Amino acid sequence: MRQLRCSRRHWAPSKDQAFLPTEARWSKMEQPFSRLGYVPSAQEIIDVAFGRASRRATRVPRGPAEVRARAKERDRVRIAGRELIRKLRQVVRRFPDLDAIHPFYRELADVLVGVDELKKALGALVKACRIIRRLQATYLARLARASTPSEADRLRREAYGRMASVVKRIGKYLEFLRAATPKLARLPSIDPDMPTVVVAGYTNVGKSSFVKAISSAKPEVASYPFTTKSIVVGHRETPYGKVQIIDTPGLLDRPLSERNRIELQAILALKHLARVIVFLVDPTDHCGFPLDSQLRLYEEVRASFPGIPMLVALNKADIATEEQLERARGLLGQDVLVMSALTREGVEEVFRRALELAFREGSRAGGP
């Protein structure tokens, strides 16, 4: 299936982007499903193709009636077949090669619509193109031998009928693709190949404040499946190269055990991105969640992302009492990092240690 073979067009910078500084190029980074466009229904495809065929068919002004009829009807069959194939191919070509996209996106696509179903639907469209091409050739040959205008008309109708039923037969696959497209188009634009720091922790502990404090540029906001909130992606130049920092509101901010399977799977797709997870804990009673609950979430996150290093840090040091810090240290270890995203004290040290964990020898080199 030629159309389903690898296409790098979604990932390679275009000619004009290649000369932009990295920052500007990143902001134009696309997710692999951003160009799917509109998927027409079977009836729309049929109507447009046959409409064009009627309008554009050549009318031969002179000559015997059967010659004029043959020329016109052959033209109609040729144009109708070409238009049907063109439209179906366009739908297929706008999809990326599902085996070549980054596992992060493949997993999310799988949770959202099902990768096998997508492949099956696209494969059905490709097969339909082949059948239409064969029908077109058969009827063009038969029309060339039509001896009367009415025979030419009958053969053209027969060709239309058979080509239309091929398209109608794949109607359910087109409907599937029509429903899948808007869901896939909403996937976040994240560079899956850029080393990523994922920030986790209960609601209100200061995740967003931390991301803001350590990101150089204005963070990007992107939607994420199965959460009404948007994830926030910040960037930062580091001695290890450019790093992205992902704030996960609605994802890693409450117990994973309370999530349904699909939601959990979408969250766990983050494992393909995360090079390190920074887990923030609020030792004060400011965020509204007791330390025990926060530590339980920490354990859950740690168990759910095996192999990804995690760094825990106590936030809100500016308002935490010595007693609160001591209690947290008692549970997390005396050497736990302490910071304040508000005053920015200790923030750089947390980020530096997170990078050390992310890039230390033996740590995975970004993505599986």
* Binding residues for Mg ion (CB under 5 A): 207-208, 249
CB under 8 A, 24+ apart: contacts of 249-253: 249/203, 249/207, 249/208, 250/224, 251/200, 251/224, 251/227, 252/198, 252/199, 252/200, 252/201, 252/277, 252/297, 252/301, 253/200, 253/201, 253/202, 253/203, 253/207
Size of the site for ligand GTP (CB under 6 A): 16
Say how far apart CA 289 and CA 260 lie, in whole Å. Answer: 22
The total number of residues written for the chain in this structure: 368
Q: Which of 189, 204, 227, 230 binds ligand GTP (CB under 6 A)?
A: 204
DSSP helix/strand/coil, 61: coil
Q: Which of 340, 355, 357, 359 binds ligand GTP (CB under 6 A)?
A: 340
Q: Does residue 254 belong to the site contacting ligand GTP (CB under 6 A)?
A: no
Q: Does residue 336 belong to the site contacting ligand GTP (CB under 6 A)?
A: no
> How near is the Cβ of 172 to ligand GTP at its closest, in Å?
41
> How near is the Cβ of 202 to ligand GTP at its closest, in Å?
7
Question: What string marks each residue from 208 to 247 as x (binds ligand GTP by CB under 6 A) or -?
Answer: xx--------------------------------------
> How near is the Cβ of 318 to ligand GTP at its closest, in Å?
5
Q: Does residue 315 belong to the site contacting ligand GTP (CB under 6 A)?
A: yes
Q: Does residue 203 belong to the site contacting ligand GTP (CB under 6 A)?
A: yes
> Is 245:236 a contact under the CB 8 Å cutoff?
yes
**Residue 243's beta-bridge partner residues?**
236
How crowded is residue 8: how many other Cβ atoms within 10 Å of its Cβ? 9
Residue closer to ligand GTP, measured from CB, 156 or 316: 316
In this chain, which stretch among 38-46, 162-170, 207-215, 237-245 interacts with ligand GTP, using CB under 6 A? 207-215
Q: Which of 48, 126, 131, 319 binds ligand GTP (CB under 6 A)?
A: 319
Task: Give the end-to-end CA distance of the chain in Å, rounded to a whole number.
Answer: 27
Residues contacting residue 287 through CB under 8 Å, at least 6 positions apart:
202, 203, 204, 205, 206
| Partner from ligand GTP, Mg ion, none contacting 316, C-beta within 5 to 8 A by type | ligand GTP
Say how far apart CA 270 and CA 272 lie, in whole Å. Answer: 5
In this chain, which stretch among 9-17, 271-279, 299-307, 314-322 interacts with ligand GTP, using CB under 6 A? 314-322
